[in-house]
Amino acid sequence: MGSATKPDRPGLIRRIAHLDMDAFYASVELLRYPQLKGLPVVIGGGRRREDDLLDRMRLLQPEREWTADHLSEIPVDVFPRLSGYVGRGVITTATYAARAFGVGSAMGVMKAAKLCPDAILLPVDFAQYRHYSRTFKDIVLDIAPLVEDRGVDEIYIDFTDVPGGQREGGRVLARLMQKTITDATGLTCSIGVAPNKLLAKMASEFNKPNGISIIYPDDLESKIWPLACRKINGIGPKADEKLRAQGIHTIGDLALKERDWLMQHFGQSHGAWLHDAAHGLDDRPVVTDSEPVSMSRETTFEKDLHVVHDRAALGEIFTRLCQQVAADLQRKGYVGKTIGIKLRFDDFQSVTRDHTLDHYTANPLEIRQVGGLCLKRVDMKRRLRLLGVRVGALVKVDSDEALHPTSHKPPSSKLTAQEPPAQKETCHEQADLF
């Protein structure tokens, strides 16, 4: 199953862990509001304004002092509920008690209100989440040096050479990490340990929350094959639908198919990957230093905006997004040459356009200009609910690619959209209003 023996250490069995913080954003909020533990709580709908609750308490109980030190004393019935929400917000995460009602990440808050109207609604506080993210990652790095950052709440860790990483398949080291993180932060995490990253990620979901799951090389048939194909990271809804159309519902069903058959039905590369994944094969290393592929900024509007009636607002928002992306690039020392835009209309359909330059840039004026050209390639007869700007194909500002762009590939343009592309793109004049 996978690369079981590490090439440079023949005597050791390869052990890779995936650590996933449990309901991370919600759990951080419960540190602030411990009185909400066990209740359905949803995070989203807007940015944090702590004073909202404190101001309400000052009105309700003016005889006493209410400061940030008294957040844990705010009565539960003072917190806002989903039932009272009106707006365009999207859920970032929810506690497990809220998930039991079908509420989940990326769901509109108003839709969630229909599923669980009594759930408590808290705004997001990204600064606090980043603080705890850095804290738990630093803890892990003190224990194990090979860590791959996969986002604010998850990491891969190479246990192979770390003391305790081989004992009980990695369970001893996983217990140490769990305890150290909880003792330092009050947060819990779930850890899966397996011969490779593919299986470790699947294992980390087995015993949530605060669980540890160990997969050995001979566990494939009993623990992995009975699972739905969607449990493989990389198989999305469309791929799963196509698999189901072929009578393939579980990973075991997929494993029974010959490699050549899968390559014939799903393409050479994807078919070969499906075969390997079904058999638990994954030789990807834990990457400790990864460069960003792109940087982007986007915003969802409080109300749908019209390209003509809301021309000034849209132009200002678009310019600000371009400036923010440029500032992000400059602050982190990157330049890019693929500039794109993302639009979401009032019917929730999303469309993207991008253009690749023959040179690299982090200039906000150039990003704005090229982004405007991309906008011209979109027919905007519908109202907009989201606007975004992206710069991709990133390289370091002092890299050879950035300093000598002519020695690399010539410029090109491409269209991607969640709608069938037209045979021939046309420029739409109403985009000039931006």
Range of the domain at 255: 225-278
- Residue-level pLDDT at 49: 65
Residues 317 and 369 grouped into a single domain: yes
- Residue-level pLDDT at 430: 54
Tokens of 302: 């409080």
> Where would I find the H helices in 230-310?
237-245, 251-255, 259-266, 268-278
In a domain, 36, yes or no: yes
Q: What is the CATH number of the domain that holds 251?
A: 1.10.150.20
- CA angle at residue 291 from 155 to 362, to 5 degrees? 135
Q: Sign of the CA dihedral 314, 315, 317, 322?
A: positive
Pick the catalytic residue: 154, 298, 302, 419? 154
Residues 298 and 335 grouped into a single domain: yes
d(CA 346, CA 203): 39
Q: What is the CATH number of the domain that holds 65?
A: 3.40.1170.60
Q: How much helix, strand and coil, in percent to the nearest 5, is found in the chain?
A: 40, 25, 35
- 168 included as an active-site residue: no
| Whether the Cβ atoms of residue 360 and residue 405 lie closer than 8 Å to each other | yes
Residues 182 and 96 grouped into a single domain: no
Domain finish residue from 98, 125, 152: 125
- Residue-level pLDDT at 197: 96
- Residue-level pLDDT at 419: 38
- Residue-level pLDDT at 20: 96
Domain finish residue from 125, 159, 185: 125
- The DSSP code for 73 is G
In a domain, 142, yes or no: yes
Residues 357 and 377 grouped into a single domain: yes
- The DSSP code for 84 is G
- Residue-level pLDDT at 422: 41
Q: Render each residue's pLDDT in the chain as its tens digit; 434 residues.
A: 444 434 455 568 999 999 999 989 999 999 999 999 999 999 886 666 666 888 888 999 999 998 888 889 999 998 989 987 877 677 888 898 999 999 988 788 888 899 999 999 988 888 889 899 999 999 999 999 999 998 889 999 999 999 989 999 999 999 999 999 999 999 999 999 999 999 999 999 999 999 999 999 899 999 999 999 999 998 888 889 999 999 999 999 999 999 999 999 989 999 999 999 999 999 999 988 767 788 999 888 878 898 888 888 999 999 999 999 998 899 888 999 999 999 989 887 889 999 999 999 999 999 999 999 999 999 888 899 899 999 999 998 888 888 877 655 544 444 333 433 444 456 665 555 56
Q: What is the CATH number of the domain that holds 200?
A: 3.30.70.270
Residues 258 and 365 grouped into a single domain: no
Residues 427 and 308 grouped into a single domain: yes
d(CA 53, CA 71): 8
d(CA 363, CA 325): 9
Domain finish residue from 74, 96, 125: 125
Residues 368 and 247 grouped into a single domain: no
Q: What is the CATH number of the domain that holds 351?
A: 3.30.1490.100
In a domain, 238, yes or no: yes
- Residue-level pLDDT at 10: 57
Count CB neighbours of 176 within 10 A.
15
Angstrom distances, CA of residue 80 to CA of 74, 76, 84, 86, 117: 12, 9, 7, 12, 10
If one counts the domains in the chain, the total is 4
Output the DSSP codes for 155-223. EEEE-TTSTTSSGGGGHHHHHHHHHHHHHHHS--EEEEEESSHHHHHHHTTTT-SS-EEE--GGGIIII
d(CA 214, CA 88): 41
In a domain, 313, yes or no: yes
Residues 330 and 410 grouped into a single domain: yes
pTM of the model: 0.69
In a domain, 156, yes or no: yes
In a domain, 46, yes or no: yes
In a domain, 167, yes or no: yes
Residues 198 and 230 grouped into a single domain: no
In a domain, 4, yes or no: no
- Residue-level pLDDT at 426: 60
| Whether the Cβ atoms of residue 339 and residue 321 lie closer than 8 Å to each other | no
- Residue-level pLDDT at 320: 92
Place of tokens 């759990």: 27
Residues 300 and 381 grouped into a single domain: yes
Residues 369 and 392 grouped into a single domain: yes
Q: Residue 342 phi/psi, 5° resolution?
A: -130, 130
Residues 256 and 156 grouped into a single domain: no
Tokens of 89: 């917000």
Q: Give the dihedral of Cα atoms 131, 132, 136, 139; nearest 10 deg.
A: 50
- Residue-level pLDDT at 429: 55
d(CA 403, CA 27): 45
> Where would I find the H helices in 267-422?
268-278, 311-332, 364-375, 400-403
